[in-house]
Amino acid sequence: MSSISRTTTIDQRDWDDLEAFRGDYLQLDYTIQDSAGSAVDITSATVTFTCYDIEAAANEFQIDTTEATEVLITSGSDGEVTVYLTDDETDTDAKTYRYSMRIVLDGGTEHTAAQGRFHILPVDYTGA
């Protein structure tokens, strides 16, 4: 399993690209902060990770905290969440997708915490 750790600012507008080999498990560890660098309390939040296929204009997959094995709030008061992408989710066409991680806080406000391109690489990719 590959693992990527990121600290991200809630409502960020920057793109953060990800990559994984087709059919790999991928663990994404995020720490969510506000613009002042303080942890955002996500204890009661709903976190949704979506991978979107631009060409097909449809979601490739979408997982959230209701699927307790794939999106886990690991330390809510510290703004820590882990997203586990399974081999089923990454076993898709090798190409570039878009992804976003959205958070709905306890009061109902919705924020984008991460977004970017998600490159699914073919198994035989050598980096050349």
CATH class, range 2-121:
mainly beta
Nearest to 18 by CA among 96, 102, 83: 96
According to the model, what pLDDT value does residue 44 have?
A: 93
Listed by start position, the domains of the chain span: 2-121
Tell me the whole-structure pTM to 2 decimals: 0.86
pLDDT in tens, 107-124: 899 999 899 999 999 987
pLDDT in tens, 56-93: 888 888 888 877 678 999 999 999 999 999 888 899 99
Joined together, the tokens standing for residue 43 give 């204890």
Joined together, the tokens standing for residue 118 give 């998600």
